[in-house]
Chain A
Amino acid sequence: RNFPQPTTVLNFDHSTATTLAAHSSVYNNTPWGGFAKFANLEKGSHFTGICDLKTYFHHFGYLPPPPGNFSDDFDSDLESAIFNYQRNLGLPVTGKLDTDTVDLIMAPRCGMGDDHTRAAVNTTTRHLHTTRH
């Protein structure tokens, strides 16, 4: 049985990266499978297609709708969305697209948003708020 070897090179966690790679292959051709390429991007970067990640965060209640289209910039709004996502889902709160975060983003999930402001009560969107304990 092979165990991942610890490494200190650039703080790179091989075990997590292996998990991401393994899941990425399962998630090929799934709606969010392409998000693997966003792993380890940082605030300030520009990456084609990251607007799709913003759409994801918007869909699940982490980003407000943009005035136009989402840009491909890793901006403060995206960082804030990542902070909230990590906090909500029990991940280490880094505000970065670390491999654990990207891995969970790609995973299948319930269609209900996590802030429940889009909880579908009728066929029209209804704004709700949650009480968290």
Chain B
Amino acid sequence: YSFFNGQPRWMRSSPMTLTYAFSPDGMIDYLPQEEIRAVFSRAFGRWSEVIPVNFTEVEDYRTAEIHIGFHNGDHGDGEPFDGVLGVLAHAFSPENGRLHLDAAETWAVDFQTEGSRVAVDLESVATHEIGHVLGLAHSSVSDAIMYPSLRPRSRRVDLRIDDVEGVQALYGSNPNFNYGSLLESDQETFNG
């Protein structure tokens, strides 16, 4: 795992709660909004399980700390999106809070119903970008969430030891986190 320079992180009193909201002007219409919200709720929840940080969705986009949106091409942050595949998404280091997904992708929440060869798993990308929002940079561990590449029609949503150690170095451990279960799951994946 790696950090941004200076190891920026969200500085709030403990227990920390960060709010997030979806851009009213930057959403896709071919997936039900409830499903998109559920995907992000699960993605935030994975990080919450390992660090003492909670995430709450709010309606007011302006006052939220984390801003999520689907955008096309040049969307004003100096990092234009490039159409189908290529760059899928990007996010900003703490405490900026912007998380942008390329609206040109075929975002999928279920590959059984989305048959496109270029479909991209929304939950995998959301989980990765939340890692950036929290302060993690890219990892060289190929099965870690923070590995920068994700192939179409593939799914990578479970935090690995590398991700957990990195984010806990920034925020400490959730007292309810069971490290042994993670090791066990890593072992099962390895054997499987």
Residues in chain A within 8 A of chain B (CB atoms): 23, 26-27, 29-33, 87-90, 104, 107-112, 114, 116, 119-125, 128-133
B86 and A32 within 8 A (CB): yes
Residues of A within 8 A of B2 (CB): 116, 130-133
Contacts of B5 on A, CB cut-off 8 Å?
A: 116, 119, 128-131
Q: Are B93 and A109 in contact (CB under 8 A)?
A: no
Chain A residues positioned under 8 Å from B169 (CB to CB): 133
What is the predominant secondary structure among interface residues of chain B facing chain A?
loop
B122 located at the interface, meaning its Cβ lies under 8 Å from any Cβ of chain A in the complex: no
> In the complex, which residues of chain A have a beta carbon less than 8 angstroms from the beta carbon of B117?
26
Chain A residue at smallest Cβ distance from B83: A31
> How many angstroms from the CA of A129 to the CA of B7 in the assembled complex?
10
Given A32-B86, A116-B138, are A130 and B4 also a contact pair (CB < 8 Å)? yes
Contact yes or no, A111 B140, CB < 8 A: no
In the complex, which residues of chain A have a beta carbon less than 8 angstroms from the beta carbon of B148? 89, 109-110, 112, 114
* Bound form: Cα–Cα A23–B90 in Å: 23
Contacts of B149 in A (CB 8 A): 89, 104, 107-110
Query: Which residues from chain A contact B85 at a C-beta distance below 8 Å?
Result: 27, 30-33, 108
A111 to B137, CA, bound (A): 12
A29–B104 CA distance with the chains assembled, in angstroms: 13
Count of B residues near A, CB < 8 Å? Answer: 46
Expressed in whole angstroms, the minimum distance between the Cβ of B153 and any Cβ of chain A is: 9
A95 to B14, CA, bound (A): 47
Q: How near does chain A come to B9, taking the closest CB pair, in angstroms?
A: 13
Task: Write out the residue numbers on chain B whose beta carbons fall within 8 Å of the beta carbon of A129.
Answer: 5
Are A120 and B87 closer than 8 Å at their CB atoms? no
Chain B residues, CB < 8 A from A132: 1-2, 140
Contact of A108 with B152 in the complex, beta carbons under 8 Å = yes
Note all chain B residues with C-beta closer than 8 A to A90. Answer: 140-142, 147
Contact call A119/B93, Cβ cutoff below 8 A: yes
What's the nearest-Cβ distance from chain A to residue B70, in Å?
14
- Which residue of chain A lies nearest to B87 when distances are taken between CB atoms in the complex? A111
Q: A111, B89: Cβ atoms under 8 Å?
A: yes
Q: Which single member of A29, A104, A121, A125 contacts B93 (CB below 8 Å)?
A: A121
- C-alpha spacing A130/B1, complex, angstroms: 10
Contact with B3, one of A30, A124, A130 (Cβ below 8 angstroms): A130
- B92 interface residue per 8 A CB criterion: yes
Known: A110-B129, A130-B5, A131-B2. A123 touches B91 (CB 8 A): no
* Chain A residues whose C-beta falls within 8 Å of the C-beta of B141 in the assembled complex: 90
Q: Which of B1-38 contact A (CB under 8 A)?
A: 1-7
